Structure 1
Amino acid sequence: MSNFRPRAALTSTLLAATVVSGVLTAPGASAVTGGTAATGSFAYTARLAIGSGDRACTGALIDPEWIVTAASCFADNPEQGYSIRAGRPAMTTTATIGRTDLTSTTGQVRQVVELVPRSDRDVVLARLSRPATGITPLKVSTNAPAADESLTVPGYGRTATEWAPLKLHTGSFKLGAIQTDTIDMTGQNGAAVCAGDTGAPVLRATGGTYELTSVTTRSWQGGCFGQDPAETRTDARNVRLDNLGTWIDSTVQAARTTDFNCDGVEDIAIADPKTSVGGNAAAGAVRIVYGGGKGTTSVNQDLDWVPGDAEADDWFGESIDTADYNQDGCTDLIVGTPSEDLSTVKDAGMVDVLYGAQSGIGTGSVKDTHFEQDSGTGSLAGSTPEAGDRMGQDLAAGITSTGDPFLVIGAPGEAIGDVPKAGMAFYVRDSTSIGITTANVSITQDSTGVPGAVEANDQFADSIAADANHIAIGAPGEAIGTDTNAGNVAVFSHTLNSEGRPTPLFGLDQDLDTVAGGSEAGDQFGKSLAMVPYRPSGTATATDSILAIGSPGEDLDIDGVNKTDTGNVLTFKVTAAGTFTQLNNYASGTATDDVTGTSEAGDRFGQTLAAVNTMPGAISTTATMMLAVGITGEAVGTATKSGAITTFSLLGAPSANDRWIEAGTSGIPGPAGADQQLGSSIRYTGTKLYVGMPYGPATSGALHALPMSNTTAGGTNTAITTYQPGQGGLPAGGGRFGYAAR
């Protein structure tokens, strides 16, 4: 058990001249001398146990998933500075929040899985493995405290008489000098910031509650247990937070990035399902490019830790998604292989979760969780793989609003009884919060409350979208009345019903009075889906969703002329209460509107969709809610099926926020060529729109990462990043590089 001691003061002057570092000590030794806090008070205060029992700090919960504390808590040598690397903590860190008495079981215990430090002052934002529910986060003040203002500091650990007390303590302090980055304070009535209390919240009273002004970083520790009795100074220095609001908001409220090696730098997974592996044509692979110049790797079924074998026409990576499924701070890759043969059963399909780790994907102690029918537990174990099931054709992965990881896996070719290609989805969820270890259930149109009926060729779960709040499952082959392939969409919440399935909320089809248009044969309503969390003004969190539904087979009357299969997209707001309202109807332009483009027969506007809320923790705006629509059949000049993309805001009028993208624009290399089908592969992150061009012009395909400014109305084009086989450390060759990207 180590005990970090303070450096000797170089002078006897106050903190403005020389400051002794706050000290990291034995577990529990991180408290302010003063009175014991009332049971349940200051519940947002967090005790941080760092490493193998040799360090402890204090922090404050400022968001259900984020704690603010001092960066020096995580430094190799806290006495020599606060410079630390971003990403997963080097030492295992456990946060206990809302436990005034450490001998009790109240509050929440979470792992810290990501650090986002400042480079200019001793402060860090620490992300929790899952939200700390039932505890109101502390508001960060936007104003500096006033001169001589009284401040309160809660903390755990050492007091005047105890080395490691088991109850939260508080002390009162008087404000001193205010600098640009720091503020000073002096303990009152014997209060002092003691050894190890680094990162404790410094509070100001306002409007009958407390706001967070700063976090402690250094102190003279006068009167603290174990301190030299001759040291009587109770002055301390704190790191200001009131002038860091933009940094805090941009970190806490932002969309999560893909980070397979948990170093705080965005990575990218690029599918090439038609590439050859070990001489097996179209076996498929997923290429990983680590951000920050940390190299590349290739994931395929010839690796001994990836289930299955690389075989011709497997198309490994035909569908992919990402989520921190095991909640360790490293993004995990979910891979669908719907063309996988299981024994002699052709195209039965399977899905794998391939785990990220600090040395890269697949390098951790646990590498994979495998899903296939007639294996594992629950509904998957009770299902029989059949030819053409195509399990994994589409999938969605994420984390629910309660912090549970989930998968929704489509098997649109599944026969229900003797009804061929009716379709089925599997819902997999790990949760201790709802009293289960793993939920693994099937969903069909015969499940209680699911709209529609089991019919041949419905292809239920051909398309899937999900966010933290809701799930949408498309059946583009659904017949509405006598109109075949008209299509419908079922919407669910993550709340499990009495059958252990997600609760069905409602169905959507174009025969409903509340949905624009009318159901017609071949519309394929629900062929593509996208869903993002939505936070309306006046709400505390993003409990609603916006759902976009593509109908690429929609025929539209354009200025009196019928345009077959020109396509359109409808968007809907889905509330936490389970109701819906249609928002917008998107289509290519006409002669009588100012939407960019022209609706033409065969455009298939809405064949693919991508959506993002770049700041899901903030009130949603036209700038943060984005939609990209793939128009794969678009002819550019004489180049048929060259393809195009139109981007919109999910909020506001389509024509006021649209941007047209074709080859040769927005940084994408041109010119447009026939059958390139630009828009067949699109994916938003919080910072980029990834545009795959698996059908050329490059022989093996390519992927282009477009900065947001290149994709928004009125935005300025800046340099894009292009990924291509044989370049930047990626292996040469391939067949459909850029088919999907996450």
Structure 2
Amino acid sequence: MRRTAPLRRSALAAALIAGPLALCATPAAAVTGPAATGTTFAYTAQLDIGGNTHGCSGVLVAADWLLTAASCFADNPAASLAVPVGKPALKTTATIGRADLTTTEGAVREVVELVPRTDRDVVLARLNRPVTNVAPVALATTAPTAGEQLSFAGYGRTKDEWAPLNLHTGTLSVDSAATTTATVTGKDGAAACAGDAGGPVVRVVGGTHQLAALSSRSYQGGCFGIDTAETRTGGITARVDDLGSWVTAKTDAARVTDFNCDGVEDIAIADPKGTVGGNAGAGLVRIVYGGGKGTAEISQALAWVSGSAEANDAFGEAIDTVDYDENGCTDLVVGTPGEDLGTATDGGMVDILHGAPGGLGTGTVKVTHFQQGEGAGSIAASSSESGDRMGHALAAGETAAGEPYVVIGVPGESLGTMTKAGMAFYLRGKINASVHQDKTDVPGTAETNDGFGTSVAADANHIAIGAPNEDISGDAASGNLAVFSHTLHADGHPKPLFGLDQDLDTVSGGSEAGDEFGKSLSLTEYRPAGAAAATDSILAIGSPGEDLPVGDSPNPDAGRVILFRVTAAGAGSQLAELKQGTAEDDVSGSAEPGDRMGETVTAINTAPRSVSTTATMKLAVGVPGEAVGSLAKAGAVHTFSLLGTPGANDRWLEAGDGDGIPGTPGAGQAVGSSIHFTGTSLYVGMPNGPSTYGALHALPLSNVTAGGTVAAVTTYQPGTGGLPAAGSRFGYAAR
């Protein structure tokens, strides 16, 4: 049986209603009204905080977000409603859409992140996975008014039960409304009880529920365990009708990297050529924790990291992030493609380094290790061979259902006698599958030196795997790629949807030797107008070896990028071709020999739950071979919208041009060789100088948007900000 702890904030209560009000925060089960039936209040959640320490109620307002009372998570609600941003201090389980707790209806999730308001008894609570079988409730847009009748629900006590097994409902009459609260009185003896804090208070309009407030405090007249002399059924609710923009901003934002789950963005910066313990090229990753919480160096010299630091291991050559264990702390996926495994030189391996409140590697589970011939599934069934380079490319994220996944490129894998034909591994839950061009229905044919898995990309809907060295119609290294669904084929690997190469009628241009079509890939979710969700994707495909004739100049290796839409049904169609063209057209820059536009690409949807627009769908393209004046390979970054006319939505970025990349251009800097979008910034790595050890610049999104205002840039550089003055290619990759 759960303990009851009536909590009082008498100073505030006295200012609102004569006499103290007990906070509605204890067990799990119900207002003193009748038990709910059907699915009318299915969006209501029961919260078990701290394993029966106490309970509250909540409301599903987005697929993976609840609104509930901050008092449920405050250390001492009687003194303060302050709640730290980030992972709850106590494990919190939410049961949503289960009016009868003895059934299996709805869904059970863990609360992994809190985002509190500072002006009222309200907190947003993120779930570890979306709830797909319960519809969220929409927020009201007008304040409660005196005399208005509102419905409310909760899992707190009833008149005669301490911890009922049913959701209960009742009716409230609004007495008055203030800026952030409304005082109410229960009708027909209904009252909010301990355990109902955070439960919905709704306005019903034409049968549709609109969330107007949350239960906050009550006299609890008639509630089980309350003095029978207390007959008042009034209370205070926390208004939410004015919080629509705040809720949308939080629930619709792209997820940030947060290794220590404190709600503040962190960053991992790779230096795969870094020296560790005297071993040149062993590789390392530096972590900068947001909010001034320090830095860390992660390498194979640490006891909890797999392997040992050896020359040319290239730890961190590829990195990505995902909350693989779904505990609310971001995990870092690290490829070490140069790792020697027994006699297999450059066999390669991958590790998932787990986040925790103390930072990476401080939790009970510190690392999950993958290498061929060990573990389970297809990875265990395979074997490490020289030149496999497992971990050369990585992609990680969550499916539309919220399931974490990792895609691992192994471009040097031999298939029978076909050396370096390449393959990839797909990991999701208990799924551990290999995919290559000899698998059933996978486009293309496995051949020597194809390099399938050289590039990989994935989003919530789809997966893309590139083979830039593929021979197309006799043109060596013309390149191709295959697109897959997260749904599995009958044979157990991701279901192939279609392949792409430049000899197809659906792709502009034609296959030519050395095009390297698919050398770089990036996928992001796309929600077209009229669609209920972002079930489509936009795929950016880099072809840096493409020759682009302009006038009499053949411009070998000028490079280009193709944008493809992938529908929920699995069909693909080209959206645009991006190339620099001539100095007279409306796209910035002009095609020149060796530009290698498309060597890198990174795409992001900054508002994945909203209808996609030119402002929210962003692409950055690396042009590392760009000459700036007489400075060969100084490099540049070219940004676009994934939608709309390319020239109307592009921006050109060079070192020192005023948009945020500091310094001056220099020969061989290869700006654009390292780029990555987050929901807040474009990371531009400068591993080739001008600074001795390399650097990384975080450019605000306004800096990289056509017509956007230039804002201050954050620079990460060894020797500053707590980062040791050491390194070789700092900024090679960042997440």
TM-score, normalization by structure 1: 0.97
* Secondary structure at 2:225 match in 1: coil
**Counterpart amino acid of 1:196?**
G
Aligned residues of 1:21 and 1:217 also touching (Cα < 8 A): no
Separation in structure 2 between the aligned mates of residue 11 and residue 582 of structure 1, nearest angstrom: 61
Deviation string 1:372-426 (CA, Å, 9 cap, x unpaired) is 1111111111112111111100011111111211111011011110001110001
Which sits farther off after the overlay, 96-105 or 65-74?
Answer: 96-105
Aligned residues of 2:410 and 2:453 also touching (Cα < 8 A): yes
* Secondary structure at 1:185 match in 2: strand
* Secondary structure at 1:594 match in 2: coil
Aligned residues of 1:45 and 1:60 also touching (Cα < 8 A): yes
Match of 2:543 in 1: 551
**Counterpart amino acid of 1:335?**
V
Deviation string 1:95-121 (CA, Å, 9 cap, x unpaired) is 011111112222211110000111111
1:579 lines up with 2:571 in the alignment: yes
Separation in structure 1 between the aligned mates of residue 7 and residue 346 of structure 2, nearest angstrom: 66
| C-alpha displacement of 1:6 | 4.2
TM-score, normalization by structure 2: 0.98
Match of 2:179 in 1: 180
Aligned residues of 2:24 and 2:215 also touching (Cα < 8 A): no
Separation in structure 2 between the aligned mates of residue 154 and residue 335 of structure 1, nearest angstrom: 46
| C-alpha displacement of 1:637 | 0.7
Separation in structure 1 between the aligned mates of residue 702 and residue 133 of structure 2, nearest angstrom: 38
1:672 lines up with 2:673 in the alignment: no
* Secondary structure at 1:376 match in 2: coil
* Secondary structure at 2:292 match in 1: coil
Q: How many residue pairs align between the two structures?
A: 733
Aligned equivalent of 1:721, options 708, 714, 717: 714
| C-alpha displacement of 1:207 | 3.0
**Counterpart amino acid of 1:269?**
A
Closer, same or farther in 2 for the Cα pair 1:369/1:344, shift >3 Å? same
Equivalent positions of 1:31-430 (< 5 A) are 31-430=30-429
Deviation string 1:4-40 (CA, Å, 9 cap, x unpaired) is 1243967998935666241322x32x42111111144
Match of 1:448 in 2: 440
Deviation string 1:651-672 (CA, Å, 9 cap, x unpaired) is 1111111111001021212210
Match of 1:693 in 2: 686
Aligned residues of 1:32 and 1:159 also touching (Cα < 8 A): yes
Deviation string 1:65-89 (CA, Å, 9 cap, x unpaired) is 1111011100001222211100000
Match of 2:521 in 1: 529
Separation in structure 2 between the aligned mates of residue 10 and residue 69 of structure 1, nearest angstrom: 23
| C-alpha displacement of 1:716 | 1.6
**Counterpart amino acid of 2:151?**
T
Deviation string 1:604-625 (CA, Å, 9 cap, x unpaired) is 0000011111111111111111
Deviation string 1:180-224 (CA, Å, 9 cap, x unpaired) is 212222211111111231101111112322111111111121221
Separation in structure 2 between the aligned mates of residue 239 and residue 145 of structure 1, nearest angstrom: 11
Structure 2 spans left out of the alignment, 5+ residues: none
Closer, same or farther in 2 for the Cα pair 1:483/1:19, shift >3 Å? farther
Which sits farther off after the overlay, 64-73 or 30-39?
Answer: 30-39
Instruction: Give me the identity figure in percent.
Output: 61
Query: Considering only aligned residues, what root-mean-square deviation do their CA atoms show, in Å?
Result: 1.5
Deviation string 1:677-700 (CA, Å, 9 cap, x unpaired) is 000000111000111000000111
Deviation string 1:336-393 (CA, Å, 9 cap, x unpaired) is 0001110121111000000000001000000011101111111111112111111100
Separation in structure 1 between the aligned mates of residue 11 and residue 368 of structure 2, nearest angstrom: 57
Aligned residues of 2:393 and 2:408 also touching (Cα < 8 A): yes
Separation in structure 2 between the aligned mates of residue 260 and residue 4 of structure 1, nearest angstrom: 34
Separation in structure 2 between the aligned mates of residue 589 and residue 232 of structure 1, nearest angstrom: 79
Separation in structure 1 between the aligned mates of residue 313 and residue 511 of structure 2, nearest angstrom: 36
Aligned equivalent of 2:642, options 643, 650, 660: 650
| C-alpha displacement of 1:594 | 1.3
1:464 lines up with 2:464 in the alignment: no
Separation in structure 2 between the aligned mates of residue 239 and residue 655 of structure 1, nearest angstrom: 48
Which sits farther off after the overlay, 646-655 or 154-163?
Answer: 154-163
Aligned residues of 1:22 and 1:197 also touching (Cα < 8 A): no
Which sits farther off after the overlay, 37-46 or 517-526?
Answer: 37-46
Which sits farther off after the overlay, 455-464 or 199-208?
Answer: 199-208
Separation in structure 2 between the aligned mates of residue 240 and residue 181 of structure 1, nearest angstrom: 5
Which sits farther off after the overlay, 161-170 or 321-330?
Answer: 161-170
Separation in structure 2 between the aligned mates of residue 495 and residue 559 of structure 1, nearest angstrom: 47
Separation in structure 1 between the aligned mates of residue 481 and residue 49 of structure 2, nearest angstrom: 47
Aligned residues of 1:322 and 1:331 also touching (Cα < 8 A): yes
Match of 2:727 in 1: 734
Separation in structure 2 between the aligned mates of residue 473 and residue 12 of structure 1, nearest angstrom: 61
Structure 1 spans left out of the alignment, 5+ residues: 431-437
Aligned residues of 1:567 and 1:587 also touching (Cα < 8 A): yes
Aligned residues of 1:19 and 1:218 also touching (Cα < 8 A): no
Separation in structure 1 between the aligned mates of residue 477 and residue 671 of structure 2, nearest angstrom: 25
**Counterpart amino acid of 1:567?**
G
Aligned residues of 2:602 and 2:675 also touching (Cα < 8 A): yes
| C-alpha displacement of 1:43 | 1.3
1:514 lines up with 2:515 in the alignment: no
Match of 1:612 in 2: 604
Aligned residues of 1:21 and 1:79 also touching (Cα < 8 A): no
Match of 2:482 in 1: 490
Separation in structure 1 between the aligned mates of residue 156 and residue 271 of structure 2, nearest angstrom: 54
Aligned residues of 1:544 and 1:576 also touching (Cα < 8 A): yes
Closer, same or farther in 2 for the Cα pair 1:492/1:233, shift >3 Å? same
**Counterpart amino acid of 1:738?**
G
